[in-house]
Structure 1
Amino acid sequence: MKFKEFKYERPDYDQVKGQLDTLQNELKECSDVNSFMEIFDKINQIRSHVQTMASLSSTRYSINTADEFYEKENDYWDEISPMYASTNSDLYKIILNHKLRNELEGRIPSAFFKLAECAIKSFDEKIISDMQEENKLISRQAKLYAGAKIDFEGKIYNLSSIGVKTTDKDRKTRESAIQAKMKWFEENEEEIDEIFDQMVKVRTTMAHKLGYSSFTELGYLRMSRLDYNADMVANYRKQVLNFIVPAAKELYDEQRERLGYKELRYFDEKIEFLSGNPKPKGTTEELIQAANKMYHELSKETGEFFDVMVEQELFDLESKPNKQGGGYCTDFPDYKVPFIFSNFNGTSGDVDVLTHEAGHAFQSYMSQKTITIPECMFPTMESAEIHSMSMEFFAHPWMPYFFKEETDKYYYLHVADAMKFVPYGVLVDHFQHEIYANPNCTKDERKKMWRDLEKKYLPHKDYAGCDMLEKGCWWYQQGHIFQSPFYYI
C-alpha cells in the first residue's frame, strides 16, 4: 500500500478515552504480570493507532499547508493532543506505582520507566490550555513560513528553494538572493516577533504552573534528557568556545583565501569553491535510484528498508509552494513504516538530508519490526541524531553515485560543514538558555542577545550592508527555536 492510500480518519477522543479508561482500570487491579502485559499491549495498540492518525494528519498538512481539510485537522490536533498527553500521564502513574512494578521491570525496558517519570514531571492538567496555545502558535509560525513568496530574478521562490541562489558561484547573485530572503523576514518581522514573544510567555507560564523557576527546566524534561543537565551543557559550550571555535575560524580563513577574497562576507559563507559548490547530478527520481543502489550495497537490511520506502512512496522530497520548510522523519505505527519529508532545492544539502533522514527512517523501520511500546519505538532526540548523523558518514563511499566528478568537493564540504556547525549549534542552544532565563526581555533585546552571542561563537561574521542580520535576526531562519526548544544541542 502506498502512502497516498493510507487511510486517515479522525479518532473519536471520547470513545478512545473510554476504551483507555476501561483498560487502565483493569491494569490497576491486575495481579498477574502476564495478564498485565496483555492489557498493556491492547492499550499500546490503541495509542499507536492514535499516533498513526496524528502523524498522517501532520505530514499531509506539512506537505501542503493550503489544504483546507488538513488545515482543519491540524487545528483539531493542536487542541486535542494535550488531552492525549493527559491519558498517557495517567497510564505512566499506574505503571510506576503498580504493585507488580518489580516484575514489570523484567518485561518492560528500563527506558520506559525513566521516560515515564520524566513525562510526569513535565505535565499536569492545569497546563492543557497553555499547551494548546503553544501548539497554535507553532502552527501559525509554520504556516507563515510555508507561505513565503520571494520575488527574485523574475521567479517566485520560497524559503527553501531560494537556497540554490544563496549558494550560487556568482558573488552578486548570492548577495542579492540573501538580501531578497531577508527582505521577506523584514516585511514579516513584526508578526514573527509577536509569535515568538507569545511562545516565550506561554512556555514560561507552563513552567511556573508546574513549579519550575524557568522554562529551561521544563524544556529539558520535554526533551527527555535523562543523562545530563544544563550545567553540563554550559561546560560543553565552554569547550566548544575554547577548542572548536578557533578550529572553525581556521576553516573560514582557508575558505576566504581559497576564494581569493580580502573579506569573507555573510553571503560568501556557504560557498567553498570559486567553481561553485558540488551539486547532485540528476533529477529527484535519479537521486532516489542512486540511493536505492547505495542502500542495497550497504547491507541486506538497508536494501530491504529502501525497497519498502520506494515501493510505498514514503517520501515527499521536493520544495514547492505552501510546503513547510526543513526536513524530518516520522512514522506510521499501524503500517510499521517511516516517512521522509524534505525540501530539495538543487544543492548538496539534498543528499545530506536524504542520507540524514534515511538514518532516522532505517532505525524506525527496524525498531517497528519488534518493538510495540510507543515510548521505546523511537529514541530520545540525542540518541536519534546518532543514527542520522552516522548514516551521513556511512554513505560517504557511495557519494560518487550522486556527485560524480564533484565528489571530492563534496567530501570536503560535508566534513568542513560538520566542524563549522558545532559553534553554530551551541550558539542556538546558548541563545535559548538566555531567552528563557530572561522571558520578559524586549524583542530588540532578544536580537541584541543573539548578535552578541554570534560575535562570541561565530567571530568571522561580517554583516555590513544587511541591517536585518546586523541587528540580530539570523535566528529567524532556525525553525527549531520556534518549534522545538533546546533541541539543537
Structure 2
Amino acid sequence: MDFNKVEYVRPNLAEFKDKVHKLSEQLKNATNGLVAQVAATELVALVNDVNSQEYVASIRYSIDTNDTFYKGESDFWDEYGPQFSDALTEYQKAVVASPFQDELAKIYPHTLIDMTKDELRVKDTNIIPLQQEDNRLISEYSDLIANAQVDFRNQTYTLAQLGPLMSDEDRDTRRDANAAYWGFFAQNEATFDRIYDDMVHVRTQMAHELGFKDYSEMSYVFMDRFDYDEAMVSTYRHEIETKVVPLVLAQRAKQAKRLGLDKLEYYDLGIQFKSGNAKPEGTPEELVETARQMYHEMSAETGPFFDHMVSSHLLDLLAKPGKMSGGYAEYIPSIESPFIFANFNGTSGDVDVLTHEAGHAFQTTMAKWIQPGETVFPTNDAAEIFSMSMEFIAYPWMQNFFKDQTAKYKYAHLQSALEFLPYGILVDHFQHEVYTHPDWTPAERKACWRELELRYNPDKDYSENPDLDRGIYWMRQGHIFEVPFYYLDYTIAQVVAYQFWKRFEVDHDKSAWPDYLAMAKAGGSQSLLELLQTGHLQSPFEPGALDDTLAAIKSALDAVDDSAL
C-alpha cells in the first residue's frame, strides 16, 4: 500500500442517502439477529468508505492548502459533511431501538451505541446550516494560520518555522523572534476576533436549537464524556491549580537561575538551558531511521508497525509554505492504516512527534480489528493516553536521538509535561467561561483569558508585550477554534501518562508494557474509565489521584543537578 497512490473519489450524497435508507428499513424490519447483523455490517462498510474519502481529502489539503483541487474538496466537505452525518440519523435511531442488541454488539462495541445516543442528541436537520458555517469559519482560521508569512531579519518564515528562533539560546534573537511571531497575531487581531466571535454565536445557536443551556453543557455530549461531569472537572481543575502550579513555579525559579536571569520574561520561558535546548542530531531522514530502530527494539509489535508507516508513505513531517500548522495522526479505515502529519523544525519537538503521534498511530494499528472505523480510536480523553505515554516509554532510546544532550532533553521534557497541565486546564476553563457568557465582546474574552492566565500561568510576565498583556495568546491555540473543548482531554491523558512514566522509569514495572498494549488493542471498544481498569491505572478524578505521581516527578527533577546541564 502506498498512500500517495490511494485514490480519492468524492462520495455521492444522494446515493449515500439511498443506501442508508434501505439499510435502515432492513434493520427496522429485521425478524432475527442475523438480518440485523447483515445490515449493520453493510452500514459499517459504507460509513468507513465515506469517512475514508473525507480523511484522505483532509490530509492532502492540510499538506498543501494551495492545492486548488483539494481546496475545492475541503470546501465540499465543509458544506456537505454535516449532510452526510445527518443522513445517518434514520439508521442510528434504528440501531438504538433494535431489539437485537446482543447480535448488534458483535458488530458495534457498546461504546459506539453510547456514542450514537450522544450523537442523536446533538443532531438536527435544522442546525445543518449552522454546522456548515462553523466549518467555513474553521477553514478560514486554518488558512490564515497556514499561509502566515512573517518577516524576520531579512527572511520570511511561516509560524512553524519561527519556532526554533523563539527558543534560541541568544536572548536578543528569541526576544525579537517572539515579537515578530506575536506581531502577526496583533496585526490580524481583528480578523481572529471576528472569526471567533462568529464561531461562539454560531455554536451557541446550535446548542440552543438542540435544547442545551449553552455550548459548554453541549460539549459533554458531543465529546462523549461518559464517565464524568462538569462538577468532577471543576474539582479536577482545582487540584491542578493548587498542587501543580506551585511545582511549576518552583521549576521556573530553577530555570531562571540556570539561565543567569533575575526573572524570566515571556520570551525566556521556552529556553531551558544557557547553552540552548536539546536538539536532535541528524537530518529528518536520519531521525526517522533512528525511530525505526527504536521501535524494532521496543517490542515485537512496534517494529512492523513503523516499517509499514515508512514504506507506505504514511508520514509527512517537514514544515513548508502552505502547509497547515501543528501535528496529528488520523486513522483511515479503507486502508486500515494511520497517517502522521507534522511540521519538523529542528527542535526536540521533532522527536516528540515521532513518539507522540506514533503513539496514536500504533494504538490504531493494534485496534484495527474493530470494524467501525470511528471506534478504532477511543474517545479523545483516552486516545491521548497512548500518545503521551509513548513519549515516556521511548525514554531509554533518547540517547540515539540526542547523544550528549540526552540528559537535557529528559529533564526539559519531564518539566514541560508538568508545565502543560495548568496551561491545558487554562484553555479548557477559558472555553467554559466563553461559552457560558456567549454575549461577551472580544475585549471581554481577552480580559477573561488574561485573568485565568494569571491564575494558572502566573509566571508569564508580559510587561514587554502589551498585546499579550491584553490577552491575545489564545489566538495561536488552534484547538480553541477547530476542536473546541478538546484540551481537557490532553490534561487527563497527561496525568495518566505520568502514571505510565512512573511504572516504566521509576518502578521498572514489568507489567507496564503488557498493560499499555492491552489498552491499545481495546481502543475505542472501552470508555476512559474502562481502559484505565484494563491498564491497572488510577482515575485522575479520584481524590488525591495526582499526589503520588507528583511526588515522584518532583523527586526525579530535584535529583538532577540542573545547573550542570
Task: Output the aligned Cα RMSD.
Answer: 1.0
Q: Mapping of 1:161-172 within 5 angstroms?
A: 161-172=161-172
Read off the aligned partner of 1:277 and give its amino acid letter.
N
- Equivalent position of 2:218 in the other structure: 218
- Equivalent position of 1:447 in the other structure: 446
- Equivalent position of 2:101 in the other structure: 101
Give the 3-state SS of the residue equivalent to 1:341 in structure 2. Answer: strand
Question: Which 4+ residue blocks in structure 1 deviate beyond 6 angstroms?
Answer: none
The whole-number CA distance in structure 2 between the counterparts of 1:314 and 1:154 is: 35
- Equivalent position of 2:399 in the other structure: 400
The whole-number CA distance in structure 2 between the counterparts of 1:413 and 1:350 is: 14
Shift of 1:464: 1.3
Shift of 1:179: 0.2
Shift of 1:35: 2.3
The whole-number CA distance in structure 1 between the counterparts of 2:89 and 2:327 is: 29
- Equivalent position of 1:13 in the other structure: 13
Shift of 1:109: 2.0
Shift of 1:99: 2.2
1:426 maps onto 2:425 in alignment: yes
CA offsets, 1:231-269, max 9 Å, x none?
111111111111111011001111011111011000000
Read off the aligned partner of 1:450 and give its amino acid letter.
W
Moved more, 18-27 or 253-262: 18-27
Give percent identity, aligned residues only.
44
CA offsets, 1:30-89, max 9 Å, x none?
122122112211111111110110001000001111111000100000011111211233
Q: Mapping of 1:310-459 within 5 angstroms?
A: 310-368=310-368, 370-459=369-458
Contact 1:314–1:338, Cα closer than 8 Å, also in 2: yes
- Equivalent position of 2:466 in the other structure: 467
Read off the aligned partner of 2:241 and give its amino acid letter.
L
Shift of 1:102: 4.7
- Equivalent position of 2:152 in the other structure: 152
- Equivalent position of 2:267 in the other structure: 267
Shift of 1:401: 1.1
The whole-number CA distance in structure 1 between the counterparts of 2:104 and 2:74 is: 36
CA offsets, 1:351-390, max 9 Å, x none?
112210001001111211x111233221100110111111
The whole-number CA distance in structure 2 between the counterparts of 1:97 and 1:88 is: 14
Moved more, 111-120 or 50-59: 111-120
Shift of 1:451: 0.4
The whole-number CA distance in structure 2 between the counterparts of 1:123 and 1:108 is: 20
Read off the aligned partner of 1:116 and give its amino acid letter.
T
User: How many residues are aligned here?
Assistant: 488
Give the 3-state SS of the residue equivalent to 1:279 in structure 2. Answer: coil
The whole-number CA distance in structure 2 between the counterparts of 1:108 and 1:15 is: 24
- Equivalent position of 2:514 in the other structure: none
Q: Provide closer, same or farther for how the CA distance between residues 107 and 319 of structure 1 changes in structure 2, counting only shifts above 3 A.
A: closer
Shift of 1:105: 4.1
Unaligned runs of 5+ in 2: 489-565
Shift of 1:103: 4.5
| TM-score, with structure 1 as normaliser | 0.98
Read off the aligned partner of 1:465 and give its amino acid letter.
E
Q: Mapping of 1:29-428 within 5 angstroms?
A: 29-105=29-105, 108-368=108-368, 370-428=369-427
The whole-number CA distance in structure 2 between the counterparts of 1:262 and 1:447 is: 29
The whole-number CA distance in structure 2 between the counterparts of 1:299 and 1:199 is: 45
Read off the aligned partner of 2:411 and give its amino acid letter.
Y
| TM-score, with structure 2 as normaliser | 0.85
Give the 3-state SS of the residue equivalent to 1:342 in structure 2. Answer: strand
Read off the aligned partner of 2:203 and give its amino acid letter.
R
Read off the aligned partner of 1:440 and give its amino acid letter.
D
The whole-number CA distance in structure 2 between the counterparts of 1:394 and 1:326 is: 22
Read off the aligned partner of 1:417 and give its amino acid letter.
S
CA offsets, 1:431-479, max 9 Å, x none?
0011001111111111110001001111111111111111101101111
The whole-number CA distance in structure 2 between the counterparts of 1:456 and 1:288 is: 40
Contact 1:11–1:50, Cα closer than 8 Å, also in 2: yes
The whole-number CA distance in structure 2 between the counterparts of 1:259 and 1:159 is: 26
Contact 1:31–1:100, Cα closer than 8 Å, also in 2: no
Contact 1:428–1:481, Cα closer than 8 Å, also in 2: yes
Unaligned runs of 5+ in 1: none
Read off the aligned partner of 1:251 and give its amino acid letter.
Q
The whole-number CA distance in structure 2 between the counterparts of 1:163 and 1:106 is: 48
Give the 3-state SS of the residue equivalent to 1:340 in structure 2. Answer: strand
Contact 1:115–1:375, Cα closer than 8 Å, also in 2: no
